[in-house]
Structure 1
Amino acid sequence: MTQRATTRPEPFRKPAHWSDAPPPTPRDAEEQDDPNGLSPTRYGDWVQKGIAIDF
């Protein structure tokens, strides 16, 4: 079994675009009215010409 690295290699340098700032806290989702009924992204069913389809 191969050992997993627990530290970065010695010559590693952090890229300039990396930040030490913590990630932002997520915002609550905004509720939007769905004029056609239940949201397909929430309930998983897409209706096309009266037939429920799934991707």
Structure 2
Amino acid sequence: MGPMTKRATERPAAFTKPAHWTNDPAPPPVKAKDEQDPDGLSPTRYGDWVQKGIAIDF
């Protein structure tokens, strides 16, 4: 195995923190709403989209 590259653990001295950065903790996740899909199974939940009678997957 070749030589290991040292991992950066500190920011460079010239780095300035952007004004929009904050040290506040991330908000807790919001529970998803369980809505009825009028066309059947939700493609965002099951991963298949039907287009012109053909199931496609992105």
TM-score, normalized by length of structure 2? 0.75
Q: Which moved more, 1:31-40 or 1:41-50?
A: 41-50
What CA deviation, in whole Å up to 9, does each residue of 1:12-46 have, x standing for no partner?
A: 33222211211111100111110110001111111
The count of corresponding residues between Structure 1 and Structure 2 is 55
Q: Give the letter aligned to residue 13 of structure 2.
A: E
Give the 3-state SS of the residue equivalent to 1:52 in structure 2. Answer: strand
Partner residue of 1:10 out of 6, 10, 13:
13
TM-score, normalized by length of structure 1? 0.78
Q: Give the letter aligned to residue 7 of structure 2.
A: R
Question: Which whole-Å CA distance do the structure 1 matches of 2:39 and 2:10 have between them?
Answer: 53
Residue pairs, 1:7-46, within 5 angstroms:
7-46=10-49
| Percent of aligned positions that are identical | 69
Runs of 5+ unmatched residues, structure 1: none
Runs of 5+ unmatched residues, structure 2: none
